[in-house]
Structure 1
Amino acid sequence: MSLIKTIQFNKFGDERGSLVSLESFENIPFDIKRVYYLYGMSSHLPRGFHAHKELVQVAVCVKGSCSILMDDGKSKDSIKLDDPSLGLLIDAMQWHEMSGFSEDCVLMVLASENYNEADYIRNYKDYLCLME
């Protein structure tokens, strides 16, 4: 089973531009409780390095590109996000690392819960122990 689970969003548009709509329980498989975005990242400084106990997320690179490494404690796989009509589903208990940000990268994340520091697993060794 692949660690990479994507959601292809319907894209509507014409010569005037494109539109993608994101809706809870329609094309996003959860109730969206929080939206945040990252921008101005350095191409050589990766981010992430954590998993969530319960939180589920969908990451969409709305501009530029980046790579995301997904890890379930047994195997790893990565994906390059460079299409604003494609979302990466990040399930609970999936370690993820983001890197290779283009200069113009804007990475938007839709989250199933509000921010809760207690939900984070930030130590990889602790994560591996939980996945055994």
Structure 2
Amino acid sequence: MIKSNVYDCTMIELDKHHHKKGNITVVENGRTVPFEVRRTYYLYDVPSGESRGGHAHRELRQLIVAASGSFDVTLNDGTGVKRTFTLNRPYQGLLVVPGIWRELNNFSSGSVCLVLASHEYDENDYIRDYGEFLVYKKR
């Protein structure tokens, strides 16, 4: 088990280049993102009032970006400490380390949640039951 807490998770400012024809943000392995990106996915068309996440990972690290719109990410390390981040700028990302329970909610209309992940999908890496998560954190 990886000993981690919500203060190991932080906002990362991504490179933003302004141009009169529009902005561009560049994300590079090992430079902008402190891990090698092995998987990328995005959430969109999340119905009003719905939430996503509701799980933790044993090894996976993620950079979560509001590519469009806004949403909240609430992090919980199992010790009673929670932090909520509002993501609403496409040039900022939230680094989430392993061993942190996460919930995403309050999606604005048209929001797109972009996730850059350190590992390919592995169901065995997920902890989907909060009680199991608490037991995992106490090991």
Distance in 2 of aligned mates of 1:46 and 1:31: 27
SS at match of 2:32: coil
Tell me which residue corresponds to 1:69.
74
Contact 1:60 1:81 in 2 (8 A): yes
**2:34 matches 1:29:** yes
Tell me which residue corresponds to 2:90.
84
Code of the residue aligned with 1:130 in structure 2: it is: Y
Contact 1:4 1:78 in 2 (8 A): no
**2:51 matches 1:46:** yes
Distance in 2 of aligned mates of 1:73 and 1:90: 14
Where structure 2 has 5 or more consecutive residues not aligned to the other structure, the ranges are 1-5
SS at match of 1:109: strand
Shift of 1:43: 2.3
SS at match of 2:49: coil
Shift of 1:4: 4.3
Aligned ranges for residues 11-22 of structure 1 at < 5 Å? Answer: 11-22=16-27
What's the TM-score, normalizing by structure 1?
0.96
**1:99-119 Cα shifts (integer Å, max 9, x gaps):** 000011000000000000000
Shift of 1:73: 0.5
**2:63 matches 1:58:** yes
Contact 1:43 1:99 in 2 (8 A): no
Q: Identity percentage over the alignment? A: 36
**2:106 matches 1:100:** yes
Code of the residue aligned with 1:31 in structure 2: it is: E
Where structure 1 has 5 or more consecutive residues not aligned to the other structure, the ranges are none
What's the TM-score, normalizing by structure 2?
0.92
Distance in 1 of aligned mates of 2:53 and 2:86: 15
Aligned length: 132
Contact 1:46 1:99 in 2 (8 A): yes
Shift of 1:42: 1.3
Tell me which residue corresponds to 1:126.
132
**1:52-101 Cα shifts (integer Å, max 9, x gaps):** 00000000000000000000001101010000000000101110000000
